[in-house]
Structure 1
């Protein structure tokens, strides 16, 4: 009977964690869906490369804003209500981006979607952690990262089918409306579903205890843990009483500057973006078309790359506790340096066509394609998920929340910088120069890990 009850509890927790992780799915979907629409968008609104890069990446600044304030909203109004608000913003952004009349109102709708992405990136992991029993917390927490990469894959897959069905992203699709607009509208149904799913799951028991709603908390905990939950209620109550709201002044040392560990967290976040990974997911169809692949083939390659990302995330989830954080980061940095360097060399030495774009002849195209996917593989088992693992455990209890918010905000800002600068670098200096810069960042990241990162495998959070 106890075993049956435990299974029922586990299924219930998986169900509610899965509903919360839909925020991660939309996080990935929203950030990647623009991939297949970039060139069509630029032509529709006759934008320069700088404005195109700005339109693609401004959503990332919105994400920094959403992440910064989501915690406060969730603490005041509850995790579930915050999820419903994020779902509403996702829906509005999807509809608005598709009906945009100019590049400037398009930017507004993307900014709105960015705020929802940032909120989802904070709320879903917090809710899952607070609702998970200790023996399931690690695996359930990984649902968020898995949901993100699956969202990226589905977005790119939908871009592919829409573009192929219409003939191109610029061509008319259903009801004579341009295909690129439908690419954004495909985000609306999952956003609505996310909001509906959020309304069916219980509020976090930790939030309920903090609000003095202990009978409701006991009811939720009985479904999660089973048996007598009064001791757990008392444990949560004592924790809530001892806690105070984190302050950013906690991050300052005696000299007035940021603590060294905070700088290390910021550097981890910045290097994760400066190796250029999001160029692959935001601009890969542009990249492959620039070197001679057709639109259909470019989108096919992009979908394959996203599938590789899912597989490597599963690998990281399986081995991060076995091999440790530092070895995976070292292997990832070495692999990324080699593959990015290969792509930089190939694109730098490629012949140019009449329009000034590199053309890959002979085996060069195959080598570039393999290098790009091996690069994603190297990132996917290392710097992608492991940075988030380290940021969650490297700070001590006193500064964890505040330090995480600073590091996460810097990650979104670094993402913004890379995504905004790629189109003009591509236009004025070429792909070889772009990949050369990312190669340098990957090489520096290796030495950063060797000299500054401490292994945290097997350590208790109280030991940090």
Structure 2
């Protein structure tokens, strides 16, 4: 898929890429919706802080399984088919979470949704990478993070409005049911849109060639590039497949050394670091965080909306940089910026005092320094690690190992996400916000030498030319 795509081809590519990344919107909405429901869950299910933490984090266990299984399932049944199944799971997970009468039912619903989130997190960027030209692949692949942030913003706005109309997330709204339940049910709308939109887009041409459906692949490629390029691209894909064998986890090892391939370690590492820097603490526990420094529930939900707006703007800027300056420079700048801002947040928070319930109180000046620094940290993340990791995971692996490498990288990302989300309430109760932010600053700093040493630039490289 070369640079010669005309504007008509580009329009079709943008359309199918946009549909695929609705999965990113649902990923973001599902991640953000929990933010406004934490108090409601604790009251409804009578859970401790650890129990509430597990209810919140349970979706991530399903996500780890979904991310690990999605690559292999997509190699057998197709990228589009697994995304369609994910859309159905999103829908029923939203219904079940909102209707839950206890932790067991809630966790089951969230595990189902988690599988969908995990699958969409690896397959949406992989699909986009497989249907876009190398010259614009980075820009179009950043749609995944943009849509994740739009989904987060959508959930923040939805939560704020529902809580406003009800008076609180724990107060009854329509049908006498608490507002937090309706926060989950709102997700059924984009889930249905995702399902029907997926029915209008084609399967990945690389998957079709791999399954011997050459004519179908040619028909798809004819909509993406001119006929001569389509024929050449099919030849390149077939040549790549002929050099390889049936994909398996064993392909993760370099046949010459018997060791795990360097590119796999790079994928696993960047996937994990994206979470270890603590970004999802802000999204999952944002309202708790803001209230802990003295803001009301209504004000904290407003801060969440501002966070979402800044994240979307930052991703839009990144989308215009990633194919110009490259992936690796953005990661390095982002790591440095996050490390510095997280240290500033920790220092500002260290000036506060805590009461018997471990609630932090800050003076106005250090409180505003902490708030502004968190926003700047979020901007650095969404200029770099947010979108760029999804771009690289979709494109950095050779064809032979793509499914397996996506599986282990996705698993790494969601295990790290679960660990960060599950441990935050524990850190809050033990070493406090200062200690928690210091931990995230440490991981941001460590990611700098990791990227410098292990991550290879992929800007402008065709997928068939990726090396392992």
Q: Normalized against structure 2, the TM-score is what?
A: 0.90
Q: CA deviation at 1:51?
A: 1.4
Offset at residue 419 of structure 1 (A): 0.3
The number of residue pairs the alignment matches comes to: 460
Query: 1:193 & 1:99 partners in 2: Cα distance?
Result: 21
CA distance in 2, matches of 1:444, 1:84: 38
- Distance (whole Å) between structure 2 residues aligned to residue 211 and residue 444 of structure 1: 42
For residue 395 of structure 1, report the CA deviation from its aligned partner: 4.7
Instruction: Measure how far apart 1:463 and its partner are.
Output: 5.7
* Of 73-82 and 370-379, the range deviating more from structure 2: 73-82
Higher relative contact order (CA 8 A, sep 6+): 2
- The equivalences for 1:46-85 within 5 A come to 46-85=46-85
- Is the 2:70–2:407 Cα contact (8 Å) retained in structure 1? no
Pairwise CA distance, 1:345: 2.0
Q: Which runs of 5+ in 1 are unaligned?
A: none
Q: Is the 8 A contact 1:49 1:427 kept in 2?
A: no
Within-5 A mapping of 1:230-309: 230-252=231-253, 257-309=259-311
1:431 to 1:149, Cα distance in 2 relative to 1, 3 A: same
Write out per-residue CA displacement over residues 381-413 of structure 1, whole angstroms, 9 at most, x where no aligned residue: 122223334445555555444333222211110
**2:450 matched residue in structure 1:** 448
Change (3 A) 1:68 1:164: same
Is the alpha carbon distance of 1:240 and 1:326 closer, same or farther for their aligned partners in structure 2, counting shifts above 3 Å?
A: closer
* Bigger Cα displacement from structure 2, 315-324 vs 32-41: 315-324
Aligned counterparts of 1:256 and 1:166: Cα–Cα separation in 2: 60
Q: 1:162-173 to 2 correspondence within 5 Å?
A: 162-173=162-173
Partner of 2:199, secondary structure, is helix
Counterpart check, 1:33 vs 2:59: no
SS of 1:169 mapped into structure 2? coil
CA RMSD of aligned residues (A): 2.5
Answer with 222-231 or 77-86: which moved more.
222-231
Q: Per the alignment, do residues 43 and 112 of structure 1 end up closer, same or farther by CA in structure 2, a change over 3 Å counting? A: same
* Contact persistence 1:329–1:449 (CA under 8 A): yes
Residue pairs, 1:338-349, within 5 angstroms: 338-349=340-351
After superposing the two structures, state which structure 1 stretch, 183-192 or 139-148, moved more: 139-148
Structure 1 residue 421, shift from structure 2 partner: 0.4
Unaligned runs of 5+ in 2: none
- Scaled by the length of structure 1, the TM-score of the pair is 0.91
- Cα distance change of structure 1 residues 429 and 234 upon mapping to structure 2, 3 Å threshold: closer
- CA offsets per residue over residues 266-302 of structure 1, 9 Å max, x none? 3322222111111011101111112210001001101
CA deviation string 1:230-255 (max 9, x = no partner): 55444444444444233323333677
Q: Deviations over 1:139-174 (max 9, x none)?
A: 332222221121111111111111122111101111
Over 3 Å counting, the alpha-carbon distance change for 1:322 and 1:133 in structure 2 is closer
Could you tell which deviates more after superposition, 112-121 or 15-24? 15-24
